Amino acid sequence: MGTHGRVHPSRLDCAAIGLVLAHNIRDGYGFWGPVTDVGVAHRHSPQDTGPSQAATCGASGGLCGAPRTRRGHPRRPRAGRIPFALEAHAPDGDAANRKKLEGGSRNRQQLGARPYRDSGVRAGGAGSSALPRQQRKSKADKGGRQAGMPMSHLKATLREAKQYGDWRKALDVLDRMQEQGVKPDSQNYSSAIAACGNARQWERAVELLASMAARGTPPDVLTYSSAIAACAKVSRWKEAVGLLRSMKGQGVKPNVIVYSAAISACRKGGQWETAVDLLKEMPAVGLAPDVITYSTVIDACAKRGQWEPAFRLLMEMPTKGVVANIITYSIVIGACAKWGQWEEAVALLREMQENGVAPDVITYSSTISACAKKGQWEEAVGLLREMPMEGVTPNAISYGIVISACAKRGRWREAIDLLQEMQAHGVPPDVINYSAAIDACAQASRWEQALWLLREMPATGLTPNVISYNSAIDACAKTGRSKIAVELLREMPAHGLAPDVITYSAVIASCAMGRQWEEALDLFREMQRQGITPDVVSCNTAINACAQGGWWEEALDVLGEMPTMGLVPDAISYRTAIDACAKGDRWKEIIDLLREMSTVGLTPDAISYRFAMSACSVDGLWKEALVLLRDMLAVGLSPDVVTYNSAINACAKGGRWKEATVLLRQMPTFGLAPDVNSFNAAIDACGNGDQWGTAVEVLFEMRALGVSPNEATYLTAMYACKRCGEKDDWMQ
């Protein structure tokens, strides 16, 4: 060993290596990298080198790292000459090396670096280190013999280029091989094509494949596979399938790997049907798809939401002698989970276990997710409990999915228990888990528990996010705790959190429920001043707050502002505005809103008509009420008892006793049973129309239908008789 702890140069055949590398070394760079400014150290010192060894090393140009002149003095290196084998690995952070590298590229362009033959691709492009033939002759070779790189080194460099996707280096190596009289074989071309593919240079890969025949090496299944894989990496599925089809014309028989690569290209390109077609085609050409091929096609179907074809292919695998693995099952279960097919997901999980394929945490989590999406929280909890018994440790994601499933069903106790169970089992809950538990409390209107969880988060080292606050505010909103909701809103900026439109909508809703209507409208305006664009939900919440406060004008203002904010009012927007107008007895505005809904393509619902009928009832607008009732039936809506009562009451105030009694007797034909208010309104109509006898008949009908009269019924009937001077008959 030398003084530096390295292998003594006497153990290296410097003379032999020097004959091969003389032309490189004497031109200013070494086998392992640039001689200067790159950090290649002297491999041995003069004192531990004998005369013969020093002479040999000097003749070779100095494997120790310092190029020598004929007299043994260090040679001044030529700037920008970096060997092709290390050009791509020059340190990017070294500005000096980068500058030299760029300078070297320009120098090589001026020297006229040879383009890569027959491919239309310049060998290495602008940054190639391929040198003209004249420059590659060794100055030490007096006989003019072309010195070349060892084939072992060229192949190693080609493998390295393939691994790192250095397509320029790969093409340069092929070029050097032919200069040295060595025809690259299929393996060499395949490596170069793969290097292009790894660099996402699919066009160069295809061009190189096309140039092989002209250069004396016909493409084979290996090179085709590499070219198709290169297309697959960039989702060029049409080109990949085209190459597969062209193999037959070239007399090359595809194998399973080639088909799998083409199918992979279809998967990445979202062409699930083409992937299935290729799979079905394989047996016709004498190929048996393997588990990788099936898994790729199944994944292609899953990515496009085609869970049923994916499921069928999985069921087909045993009939073809292919055993599904955990990846195949996980893909199909994930597809089922995405589309809420929880029963199929659970069935596949059980099939895995029966077939000896052990599910992992991902498989279980996907199955639990399928159950959660369809509200099967008990099934989700059961699967979570099963995991440890099967040797699978639940993670934070598994727990989070189950807690979210409980949240959707308002199972707040179970959500909190799961949160505490995580800590007991050494699975630290994250912000998502806490937020889901807070949401569970919100769904169950447990605002106190929601606030407790929110306050507990900092104690566990977690910082609540906007979602955490929104869920807690929602819990307060559902119970009308407007003061606490506003406090949480004001608290968020102090923690570096910016309230969003969901935050404001929840606070506005809490103020509306807490009868803080003015504050709700102020928050709506504040949100706009903060640069937060309201959405349809927040606008509807603000309109509802105005409706609750009886501010019909403000409600119509918000509704009118929505199109200016790029929002399209929905049926809820109009219905809530109609409610606001109904509370203000603004029947004209209600009629206008109903007509406007029809012009914008919205169909008023039964609630909207009910609000409209209520307004007509207050002002005795019997004609308008009957028109609304007729329109309601015309659009296929079924009036309820409250709607009919409003119409009968409108007729009563207008003295239209015939219309009132007709409506009363019409109700059973629509499956509606008149209540005491229905009969009272009809009796009142008869009284206002001086029809005391009809009023008494309605009273007897009421008793016959088993509806018990109340005090208002008798007072209304007595009033009808009194108006007609038939008090004695009434008493009788």
Give the C-alpha separation, 298 to 319, whole Å. Answer: 16
Top-level class of domain 152-289: mainly alpha
CB 224 within 8 A of CB 254: yes
Q: At 273, is the secondary structure helix, strand, or coil? A: helix
pLDDT at res. 726: 53
Write down the pTM of the prediction: 0.60
CB 31 within 8 A of CB 84: no
552 to each of 81, 509, 580, how far by Cα in Å? Answer: 82, 17, 5
| Spatial CA neighbour of 538 closest among 489, 566, 573, 588 | 573
pLDDT at res. 729: 53
Q: Under CATH, which architecture does the 621-731 domain have?
A: Alpha Horseshoe (1.25)
Which residue reads 């060894």 in tokens? 53
| 19 burial level (CB within 10 Å; 0-12, 13-18, 19+) | middle
pLDDT at res. 633: 85
Q: Is the pLDDT of residue 351 over 70?
A: yes
Q: Is the pLDDT of residue 732 over 60?
A: no
Buried b (16+ CB within 10 A) or exposed e, 685-695: bbbbbebbebb
CB 314 within 8 A of CB 342: no
Number of H helices, E strands in the chain: 37, 2
Beta strands in 394-510 (DSSP E): none
11 to each of 7, 113, 509, how far by Cα in Å? Answer: 7, 37, 85
* CATH 1.25.40.10 residue window(s) in the chain: 152-289, 621-731
Q: At 521, is the secondary structure helix, strand, or coil? A: helix
Neighbours of 25 (CB within 10 A): 26
Give pLDDT tens digits for 301-341. 999 989 999 999 999 999 999 999 999 999 999 999 888 89
pLDDT at res. 475: 92
Q: At 631, is the secondary structure helix, strand, or coil? A: helix
Kind and range of the H or E element at 23? helix 14-25
Q: At 122, is the secondary structure helix, strand, or coil? A: strand
Give the C-alpha separation, 46 to 254, whole Å. Answer: 60
| Spatial CA neighbour of 197 closest among 264, 152, 273, 293 | 264
Q: Is the pLDDT of residue 279 over 50?
A: yes
Q: Quick one: average pLDDT of 628-640?
A: 85
325 to each of 263, 291, 317, 322, 355, how far by Cα in Å? Answer: 19, 7, 11, 9, 10
Q: Is the pLDDT of residue 628 over 90?
A: no
Between CA 484 and CA 491, with CA 486 as vertex, the angle to 5 degrees is 95
Which residue reads 């085709």 in tokens? 224
Between CA 468 and CA 473, with CA 472 as vertex, the angle to 5 degrees is 115
Ordered DSSP codes for 235-252? T-HHHHHHHHHHHHHTT-
Q: Quick one: average pLDDT of 221-232?
A: 94
Give pLDDT tens digits for 360-399. 999 999 999 999 988 899 999 999 999 999 999 999 999 9
Q: Quick one: average pLDDT of 232-241?
A: 93
Give pLDDT tens digits for 187-222. 999 999 999 999 999 999 999 999 998 888 999 999
| Spatial CA neighbour of 395 closest among 353, 372, 429 | 429
Q: Is the pLDDT of residue 239 over 90?
A: yes
pLDDT at res. 129: 35
Give pLDDT tens digits for 522-575. 999 999 898 898 999 989 989 998 888 888 899 999 999 999 888 999 989 998
CB 211 within 8 A of CB 118: yes
Kind and range of the H or E element at 200? none
Q: Is the pLDDT of residue 152 over 90?
A: no
Alpha-carbon radius of gyration of the chain: 42
User: CA torsion, points 376, 378, 384, 385, in degrees to nearest 10?
Assistant: -160
